[in-house]
Structure 1
Amino acid sequence: MALRSIAMEKPVRVRVNGDCMAPLVCHGAEVDVGYPRRWYWPGDVVVLLSPGRGLLIHRIIGAYRRRGDWMFLTQGDAAERPDMAVDAKMILGRACGGGCAQILVAIPGRHRVWAFSRLIRFALTRARHALPGRP
């Protein structure tokens, strides 16, 4: 992905379409994204390429390994449930400035706990539906 290569050298500015991260990032805001990492923590806010949906800005809620690759679960702050997991290679980088709230750059501990709690809630919901006799 060409943008990912550019973001490795310096932040890239992208325009946000949608309100899944409102009120911290509003529709039309320009967010700086840069410096792709090998690892992201729950609570990190990233821009990723979602198949069929284009670039998204979402919060990482967790990660797991699948066939040797790291997959990240993400969710918009205003969304009810996580999106499909994305391969780490699809993440352009972490929000690092521009037209977003500063707490998306310097993430407070309470946002990390909140993100992790969303992962736990998602896992419990999945486990409950996997039990025999459950729809």
Structure 2
Amino acid sequence: MMRRAIPNLPMALAENIGRVLRDVAREAPLTLRVQGGCMEPSVSDGDEVRVRRQRIYLPGDVLAVHGKDGRLTLHRCLGYVIARDGLGVVTQADSSNTADTRVPLDRVIGRAELPSPPLSTRVRSVTRYARWFGAAAARRVSRP
């Protein structure tokens, strides 16, 4: 079970906080302090990262995402997926073997202003996305 970043924070308030963060990141870079090591060595625990809203995110970009639980996560973009509720993005921590669940695009705060990832990182992201997409398609086909 996930805990909210701020215990007992009403869901409506958490949604508004996410909206405000996205708006701020659109106008000027938003500085966030990283807690955790899931993106090492690209981003380490305690690092300060500047995040800016973009029109397009590429596989390999590191994105700040506002979760339903109110937490902000910093994970790598693997690719996009279309669902009934609109366009979403698939992300994954560098230290994880599995992709996160699809995140609606309106929950993305922005892209971390880090040095551009090497081509190998972008290729690895596309490969991880292809693996995720293939598994999702297989699950869909195997449904009765």
| TM-score scaled by length of structure 1 | 0.83
Asked if residue 122 in structure 1 is aligned to residue 126 in structure 2, the reply is no
Give the alignment partner of residue 21 of structure 1, picking from 12, 17, 39.
39
| Distance across 2 between alignment mates of 1:56 and 1:82 | 13
Contact persistence 1:45–1:57 (CA under 8 A)? yes
1:69-102 deviation digits (Å, cap 9, x = unpaired) = 2100000100110111111111111111xxxxxx
Name the structure 1 match of 2:68.
51
Q: Extract structure 1 runs of 4+ deviating beyond 2 A.
A: 123-133
**Structure 2 gap ranges (5+):** 1-18
Q: Which has the higher contact order (CA 8 A, sep 6+)?
A: 1
Q: Quick one: which amino acid aligns to residue 75 of structure 2? A: H
Give the alignment partner of residue 109 of structure 2, picking from 68, 81, 92.
92
Tell me by how many angstroms 1:115 deviates. 0.1
Q: Quick one: which amino acid aligns to residue 123 of structure 1? A: F
Could you tell me the percent identity over the aligned residues? 34
Query: Cα 1:12–1:128, aligned 2, differ >3 Å: closer, same or farther?
Result: same
| Distance across 2 between alignment mates of 1:53 and 1:9 | 22
Tell me by how many angstroms 1:124 deviates. 2.7
| Distance across 1 between alignment mates of 2:135 and 2:22 | 33
Q: Quick one: which amino acid aligns to residue 87 of structure 1? A: P
Query: Number of matched residues?
Result: 125
SS at match of 2:80: strand
| TM-score scaled by length of structure 2 | 0.78
**Structure 1 gap ranges (5+):** 97-103
